[in-house]
Amino acid sequence: MAYKPSKRRMYEPEYVGLNLFPVMNLLVVLIPLLLSTATFVKLGVIELNLPKAASGPLAQQTLGKESQRSLDLTITITGRGFYLSSSRIILRDPGSGGPTIPVLSNGAYNYLELSTQLFELKQKISSTFFDSKRIILQATRDIEYQILVDTIDAARSIHMDGKQYELFPDVVISAGII
């Protein structure tokens, strides 16, 4: 007499696999396509205004009339640090008479201090001057481009308590070399 087949064997659940091949085909095509068009480095641009002195004697004249109420806030980048000045006064380090914000002991520029000082200044002047958004940048001839860009960043806005405050977004690069 033959053995009766076991009932347990009959009800074994069968594994049903999803047919993923169409999806795989799609992904294999899509991934190289997106990879080839992906931009991993994002570029930006800093908009500059024309150096005023470069536009000739006419601009000089009109500038002369308006400058009675202008602030002409200027940052001068030197090898020793930042000098802050306006049309009336040059701020100096009260102790040594050196730059307003001297370089740190490791030779790095103190951008944070620059932003903070400009922020305090911005609170004081608010909008009494017509050029209260403008800042003029000067530098000695051997200052590196990256330092200039970092200074522009520091002068444009400040991050405080998780908020971003606008400082002096209109950056003008002065035409003279010191």
Partner 1 sequence: MAFIPSRRKKHATGPVRVSLNLTSMMDMFTIIIVFLIKTYSTEGQLIHPSKNLTLPSSTVETAPEVALDVVVSQEWIMVNDRPVIRVASLKEQRDLFIPELNATLLKYATEAKRIEEKYGIKFTGKVTIQGDKKLPFGTLLKVMATCGRSEYPNMRLVVYQKSG
Segment near partner 1 (CB under 8 A), from 41-49, 61-69, 96-104, 126-134?
Answer: 41-49
* Closer by beta carbon to partner 1, 41 or else 58: 41
Judged by CB under 8 A, the chain residues 128 through 157 that form the site for partner 1 are 139-146, 148-150, 152-153, 156-157
Judged by CB under 8 A, the chain residues 16 through 35 that form the site for partner 1 are 17, 20, 23-24, 27, 30-31, 34-35
* Closer by beta carbon to partner 1, 36 or else 127: 36
The residues, any chain, with a CB within 8 Å of residue 89's CB and separated by 6 or more, are none
Contacts of residues 65-70 at CB distance under 8 Å and 24 or more positions apart, as own/partner, are: 66/130, 69/129, 69/130, 70/129, 70/130, 70/131
The residues, any chain, with a CB within 8 Å of residue 45's CB and separated by 6 or more, are none
Is 160 a residue that touches partner 1 (CB under 8 A)? no
Cα–Cα distance list, 68 to 62, 123, 171 (Å): 11, 21, 20
What pairs with residue 102 in β-bridges? 81
The residues, any chain, with a CB within 8 Å of residue 113's CB and separated by 6 or more, are 101
Query: Minimum CB separation from partner 1 for residue 23, in Å?
Result: 7
Q: In this structure, are strands 170-173 and 134-139 parallel, antiparallel, or unpaired? A: parallel
Chain contacts with partner 1 (rule: CB under 8 A): 3, 15, 17, 20, 23-24, 27, 30-31, 34-35, 37-48, 50-51, 54-55, 77, 139-146, 148-150, 152-153, 156-157, 173, 175, 177
